[in-house]
């Protein structure tokens, strides 16, 4: 709680500077959040030419909306939310996204808890054993890129950025049960794809 309060206090000071006319201070916000924004944009948008435009638009929207920011979350979470929604709008306009119509109760509570299997590892021991002679990071990256945009993004936010479920829910606007459900589906699809792909290569 102390760390959270310190983060909010730092955010308040930074926003106060910007709103007082020190627009150069906004560059600090960009530096602090550009990695997270890049992760979301690169996982959700496959068109390289559009990625830069979307990222620039995210910060333009954030700058214009800054006077209305109420510090109910960290600035990084708020900007990530703007980024996620911008990417979602892009995908929906181009009909490149699957609909959010999956029921939340397809899996039992025990199955949902499997989301945390093997110390939050994405992979099962069987998959890792199949891949031990390969470059794991490159294999994961290539297979992760084949998942639907939202699946890729949720895995990245949870595993790479180490965000909490609460933060991911804030960013995506999805209920926690849906986030867990999608993560379960994403990990299962990733694991199954890895097993199929590399068993075929007869590792």
Q: What is the pLDDT of residues 71-83, one digit of tens each?
A: 888 999 999 999 9
pLDDT digits (tens, 9 = 90+) for 84-134: 999 999 988 887 655 444 334 344 434 433 433 333 444 444 444 444 444
Q: What percent of the chain has pLDDT over 90?
A: 36
Following DSSP, what letter does each residue of 42-107 receive, concatenated? HHH---HHHHHHHHHHHHHHHHHHGGG---SS-HHHHHHHHHHHHHHHHHHHTT-S--S---TTSS
Tell me how far CA of residue 182 lies from CA of 22, 119, 134, 192, in angstroms: 41, 18, 27, 15
pLDDT for res 137:
61
| Res. 169: pLDDT tops 70 | yes
**What's residue 66's pLDDT?**
92
Phi-psi label, residue 117: left if phi above 0, alpha if psi -120 to 50, beta otherwise: beta
Tokens of 38: 């890049």
pLDDT band at 201 (very low <50, low <70, confident <90, very high): low
Q: Which domains does the chain have, with CATH numbers?
A: 2-93 (1.10.1740.10), 109-200 (1.10.10.10)
pLDDT of residue 57: 92
Q: Is the pLDDT of residue 16 over 80?
A: yes
Please, what is the average pLDDT of the chain?
77
Are residues 72 and 25 in contact, defined by beta-carbon separation less than 8 angstroms? no
User: How distant is the alpha carbon of residue 170 from its chain centre?
Assistant: 11
Q: What is the pLDDT of residue 132?
A: 46
Is 172 or 48 the better-scoring residue by pLDDT? Answer: 172
Mean per-residue pLDDT, 25-31 = 90
Residue 22's pLDDT band, with cuts at 50, 70 and 90, is: confident
In 3-state terms, the chain is what percent helix, strand and coil (to 5)? 75, 0, 25
What's residue 200's pLDDT?
55
Which band of pLDDT confidence, cut at 50, 70 and 90, is reported for residue 159? confident
Measured in residues, the chain has a length of 203
């Amino acid at each position: 709680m102390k760390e959270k309060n310190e983060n909010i206090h730092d955010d308040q000071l930074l926003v106060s500077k910007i709103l007082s006319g020190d627009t150069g201070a906004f560059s600090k916000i960009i530096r602090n959040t550009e990695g997270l924004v890049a992760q979301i944009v690169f996982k959700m948008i496959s068109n390289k030419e559009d990625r830069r435009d979307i990222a620039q638009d995210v910060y333009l929207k954030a700058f214009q909306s800054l006077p209305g920011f109420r510090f109910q979350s960290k600035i990084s979470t708020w900007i990530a939310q703007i980024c996620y929604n911008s990417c979602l709008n892009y995908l929906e306009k181009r009909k490149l996204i699957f609909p959010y119509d999956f029921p939340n109760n397809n899996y039992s509570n025990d199955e949902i808890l499997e989301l945390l299997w093997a110390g939050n590892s994405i992979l099962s021991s069987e998959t890792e054993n199949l891949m031990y002679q390969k470059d794991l990071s490159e294999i994961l990256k290539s297979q992760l890129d084949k998942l639907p945009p939202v699946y890729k993004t949720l895995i990245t936010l949870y595993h790479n950025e180490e965000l909490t479920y609460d933060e991911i829910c804030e960013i995506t606007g999805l209920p926690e049960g849906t986030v867990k459900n999608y993560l379960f589906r994403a990990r299962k699809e990733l694991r199954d794809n890895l097993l199929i792909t590399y068993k075929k290569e007869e590792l």
